[in-house]
Amino acid sequence: MKPTSTLHQQFESLYAHEQRFFKHIIARYFDGAQQQDVLQDFLLHLYALLEKQQPANAHLFDSQAWLRKVLVHFCISQLRKDQAQKNSVWQQTTVHHVLVAQEFAPQREFELQALYLEALGCVDKKEALVLKMKYEYKRSSKEIEQRLGLQHVDVLISRIKAKIKKKLGRIELDWM
């Protein structure tokens, strides 16, 4: 027998034995059709773990406590990924940019441009550069982090926005 076929058989046996256990834990974190997607993603993750750790740590796969820990951490990771996609700046600003592009209001755009320049004047050069890279040049947070050697750019942008709102004394700034 080939090593991969034994690995495949071990995985099939593990899944057959723990299938209800996996579904029960995933049901705590996800609803409906998303449960099946998460289960499939987790099974791929579990197979990779089995492939990587099987020779040295075969006893781990017999322990429901360890499997629960791996699955819970996987579910939490999936929830964080889903939340990050929901909170992405691109999704929040797309509708606004489309509406502005469809409306022809040169006075409104002139006011927005003046407000933008005023806002950039409220922050130091590095903060202004971060805002320009994000909103003018449409760079991703990851790219900004790499190019400027920063960490947690999304948090930094939120702080910069709060700083601008405080300095300008305005609560609602639509373009932000």
Taking the domains of the chain in order of start, what are their residue ranges?
A: 3-86, 89-168
Would the pLDDT of 23 be above 70?
A: yes
Would the pLDDT of 41 be above 60?
A: yes
Whole-structure pTM value: 0.46
Counting residues of the chain whose pLDDT is more than 90, the rounded percentage is 3
Sign of CA dihedral 41, 21, 70, 77: positive
Please provide the CATH number assigned to the domain covering 89-168: 1.10.10
The CATH number of domain 3-86, selected from 1.10.1740, 1.10.3470, 1.20.120, 1.10.10: 1.10.1740
Planar angle of CA 79, 57, 28, nearest 5 degrees: 25
Candidate ranges 4-13, 114-123, 152-161; pick with highest mean pLDDT? 152-161
Q: Tens digit of pLDDT for each residue in 47-87?
A: 888 887 766 666 666 677 888 888 899 999 888 887 776 66
* 71: CB partners within 8 A, 6+ apart: 22, 25, 26, 42
Q: How confident is the model at residue 104 (pLDDT cuts 50, 70, 90)?
A: low
